[in-house]
Amino acid sequence: MEMKNFVCLNDGSGTKVDVRTGAESAIDLTLVSDSLAGICSWQVVKETTIGSDHYPIMTMIEFSIEKRDVRGVKQWCFRDADWDTFRLVSDQEMQKIDMNVGVDELNYFICKAVLEVASRVMKRKDGRGEKKIVPWWTQECDKVIKYRNRAFKTLKNNHSFQNFIEYKRLQAKVKRTIKSAKRDFWRGFCNSVGRETRIQNIWSMIRRMNGMKRECDYPILRDGDIIAVTDEEKANVLAKTFVKVLNCGSGNVSEEGRRGKDMTIAENRGLLDLVGDTDNSLNILFTKTELHRVLQKSKLSAPGKDQVCYTMLNQLSESAKDLLLGLYNRVWEGGKLPQSWKEAVVVPIRKPGKDVTNPGNFRPIALTSHVCKVMERMITERLTYYLETRGFISKYQSGFRRGRNTMDPVLCLEHEVTKAQTNSESVVAVFFDIEKAYDMMWRDGLLIKLCKLGIRGRMYGWIMDFLKGQHIQVRIGKVFSERFLVENGTPQGSIVSPLLFSLMIDDVFNDIEAGVGCSLFADDGAIWKRGKNIEYIVKKLQGTIRRVEEWSYKWGFKFSVDKTKVMFFTRKRVGKDVKLKLYDQELERVSKFKFLGLWFDERLTWAAHIQKVVDKCKKVLNIMRCLVGSDWGADRKSLRVIHWVGQITVGLWVCNI
């Protein structure tokens, strides 16, 4: 305890009781760090044992923490909305808007009119209400537990055989009541399962039955010497952490990276001045057809700070949509976006398996204006068509492309390894990982690449203004952090961000040597080479890695040495001295690796992946066992749907390998 700086808070009071004799013993210890020991108080609650033979122990830390509202932001109830009234009234309100004002004022008036009408025709509910810890809990459970606790107090005051028997009888009744409540509730739920029931809902109910719930609250955060306790402090600490990564001036870029960026700017200095129109199909005004197509594709998602949702925009009358289209074309012609479109509300999401007290272990998800996202989608469709029809996207890039998916890179690598095994050859593969890919994207570098692709005029001006002047605010519950300017990266959650990122990383493998295979799916890249001489393969791959390093310096990216892995697909013995390096650091060699959802092993037996699939299917089978009984449970059709979704589809996907 002295080595770990722990302090025991026990004062000698008994923590366990023998209900037969009334004797107490102190066998439960409470240990805290020495920094907390001085402000902690310790007490044994002997009024009840909560059904156990151990007393509850209450440890209090004397922090002055304000009580906060745990409910989230209110959500719109679209299910009960009167859309006919919404279209009629919104049309009347939108006709009052003056189109001759600036784009900021015009966007404000449109959003204000939509929200005012929406508040009349639909209600809003709290994002998180008060819920029972377990769904099966009933008033009968409260009643029998109350009687058991009363019997325990009687036993403590008068330790007689009769009181002991009464306490044990009520304790057994509590167990029977809880077991019966669980069984009745679960049978009722199983009887309600139908073909429309999603498997996610079944898994959620299983977790809730066991008292497991999704942890939505944020723990106390520690950033160096700063300890964030209140929601406001947590929001500001997380916001500053995200901004450190996003902004260039925080020391994220190495000296080689700075020199590479400066060289790139010097080589393309005159290119950025040529911003005239080059392709009319990219820069023409948006049409009503484009707007309708985008609104029909929109799905229900969390809105930005203005609280305007896709559903509201989709339900507008035709004349109101004409006004909305007028706003988009005003922005398109002027090349200046409303400032509210550049305000992102960031919701921190925990990274699984990481220390939740470290603010660096949260992923920023940006919630931006849906009014802006509609325009982003129209621009994305135009830009994608332009790039695809002219062949500007590399053939080895499979991410965010129509008709391409994760199986394309997987099959390319699998084909190469299979061919090597047939010819008694070996394949060495390197799987790359980019550090904070979206957050570290160099904006000026992206603009240079857009110019090289001939993207000028209104399209170039819109993207340039979209990337500059972005601000973020972190939201914890209903509390917002301060506003921070973002100098780098592209918002995660934005519609156009994946396409812009794909353009930025598209040429990462353009300069590799002939004979070296490669694949790219968004930021998941891999290179490999096949041959009989492993030493020669490693030498060639090391040269390719150096070219990838030079590309990363030039365009402001950094590959993660810890997450980049090497795998040898061979039946030969490879010595431990055969290694590859990235940034002069040795890369870890692994015997299996999960590449785009599939587990590869050194001999391509798929044993690891098949075992993962078998484990997944067993979970689905366990669900089906829980859902069926001799005289209760889900019907036959529902079980067949669950079996198909959970097991057959997984098996068919594996068969595609």
- Let me know if 273 is exposed, middle or buried by CB neighbors in 10 A (0-12, 13-18, 19+): exposed
Q: Among the three residues 552, 576, 596, which one is the final residue of a domain in this structure?
A: 596
Judged against a pLDDT cut of 90, whether residue 414 lies above it is answered with: yes
| Same domain, yes or no: 522 and 612 | no
d(CA 630, CA 649): 28
Q: Are residues 585 and 614 in the same domain?
A: no
More confident residue, 540 or 51: 540
Q: How many domains does the chain have?
A: 3
For residue 588, is it within any domain? yes
249 pLDDT band, cuts 50/70/90, is very low
613 and 589 in a common domain: no
The answer on 432 and 560 residing in a single domain is yes
Q: What is the CATH number of the domain that holds 418?
A: 3.30.70.1120
- Mean pLDDT, rounded, for 349-359: 84
What pLDDT sits at residue 38?
A: 80
Instruction: Name which of 97-101, 210-214, 427-431, 560-564 the model is least confident about.
Output: 210-214
Cα–Cα distance for residue pair 278/300, rounded to 1 Å: 36
Q: Which of 49, 65, 81 is the endpoint of a domain? A: 65
The amino acid at residue 354 is: K
Pair 552, 586 in one domain: yes
Q: What is the reported pLDDT for 477? A: 81
Opening angle at CA 470, ends 465 and 472, nearest 5: 165
Helices (H) and strands (E) in the chain, counts: 21, 24
pLDDT value at 270 more than 80: no
Do 556 and 427 share a structural domain?
A: yes
Measured CA to CA, the distance from residue 161 to residue 575 in angstroms comes to: 74
pLDDT of residue 623: 76
Q: Is residue 632 part of a domain?
A: yes
**547 vs 186: CA distance, rounded Å:** 59
Does 191 fall in a domain?
A: no
Query: According to the 3-state scheme, what is the secondary structure of 272-336?
Result: HHCCCCCCHHHHCCCCHHHHHHHHHHCCCCCCCCCCCCHHHHHCCCHHHHHHHHHHHHHHHHHCC
Buried b (16+ CB within 10 A) or exposed e, 197-215: beeeebeebbebbeeeeee
Question: Can you read off the two tokens belonging to residue 581?
Answer: 């390096």
Angle between helices 607-627 and 161-192 (to 10 degrees): 110
Average pLDDT of the residues in 183-212:
78
The model's confidence at residue 622, banded by pLDDT at 50, 70 and 90, is confident
The encoded tokens of residue 396 equal 């080895």
pLDDT value at 128 more than 60: no
* Residue 418 covered by a domain: yes
- Of 497, 392, 539, the closest CA to residue 451 belongs to 392
Angle, in degrees to the nearest 10, between helices 370-389 and 103-121:
120
* 645: number of Cβ within 10 Å: 13
Q: Has residue 542 been placed in a domain? A: yes
Say how far apart CA 460 and CA 72 lie, in whole Å: 38
Question: What's the pLDDT at 250?
Answer: 43
Q: Residue 327's pLDDT band (boundaries 50, 70, 90)?
A: very high
For the ranges 126-135, 459-468, 515-524, which has the lowest average pLDDT? 126-135
Overall pTM surpassing 0.75 (yes/no): yes
Say which residues have a Cβ less than 8 Å from residue 43's Cβ, sequence separation at least 6.
57, 58, 59, 60
Average pLDDT, the chain: 85
Between 623 and 379, where is the model more confident? Answer: 379
Q: Are strands 517-521 and 524-531 parallel, antiparallel or unpaired?
A: antiparallel
Task: Answer yes or no: are the C-beta atoms of 309 and 396 closer than 8 Å.
Answer: no
* Residue with the two structure tokens 């992102």: 344
Q: Which residue has the higher pLDDT, 6 or 3?
A: 6
Domain hosting 58: range is 1-65
Q: What pLDDT is attached to residue 533?
A: 92
Please name the residues in contact with 191: beta carbons below 8 A apart, sequence gap of 6 or more: 632, 633, 634
Whether residue 552 sits in one domain with residue 506: yes
Q: Which value, to the nearest 10 degrees, does the dihedral of the CA atoms of residues 56, 57, 61, 66 take?
A: 10
Query: How far is it, in rounded angstroms, from Cα 379 to Cα 253?
Result: 31
| pLDDT for the residue numbered 371 | 94
Sort 547 into a burial class: Cβ within 10 Å, 0-12 / 13-18 / 19+.
middle
Q: φ and ψ at 631, to 5 degrees?
A: -125, 15
Q: Are residues 516 and 591 located together in one domain of the fold?
A: yes
Whether residue 507 contacts residue 381, with contact meaning beta carbons closer than 8 Å, is answered with no
Phi, psi of 412 (to 5 degrees): -60, -45
Three-state SS string over 35-74 comes to HHHCCEEEEECCCCCCCCCECCEEEEECCCCCCCCCCCCC
Tell me, yes or no, whether 564 and 589 share the same domain. Answer: yes
Does the structure show a pLDDT above 70 at 401?
Answer: yes
Residue 140 clears pLDDT 90, i.e. is over it: yes
The answer on 537 and 636 residing in a single domain is no
Instruction: Tell me, yes or no, whether 233 lies in a domain.
Output: no
Q: Interior CA angle at 264 toward 379 and 441, to 5°?
A: 45
pLDDT on residue 221? 86
Least confident of 26-30, 33-37, 218-222: 33-37
Taking residue 36's Cβ as centre, other Cβ atoms within 10 Å add up to: 14
Q: Is the pLDDT of residue 625 over 50?
A: yes
Question: Can you give the pLDDT at residue 133?
Answer: 72
The answer for residues whose C-beta is within 8 angstroms of residue 619's C-beta and 6 or more apart is 646
Tell me, what's the pLDDT at 255? Answer: 78
Q: Does the pLDDT at position 630 exceed 50? A: yes
Neighbour-count burial for 79-108, b at 16+ CB within 10 Å, e otherwise: eebeeeebbebbbebbeebeeeeebeebbb
R_g (Cα) of the chain, nearest Å = 31
φ and ψ at residue 222, rounded to 5 degrees: -125, 120
Phi, psi of 613 (to 5 degrees): -65, -40
The answer to the question of residue 639 being in a domain is yes
**Are 526 and 591 in a shared domain?**
yes
User: What are 83's two structure tokens?
Assistant: 């859309």
422 pLDDT above the threshold of 60: yes
Q: What is the mean pLDDT of residues 355-383?
A: 90
Q: Are residues 430 and 509 in the same domain?
A: yes
User: Which burial class, exposed, middle or buried, applies to 504 when counting CB atoms under 10 A from its CB (0-12, 13-18, 19+)?
Assistant: buried
Residue 444 lies in a domain: no
Residue 227 has pLDDT above 80, yes or no: yes
Domain end, chosen from 19, 44, 65, is at 65
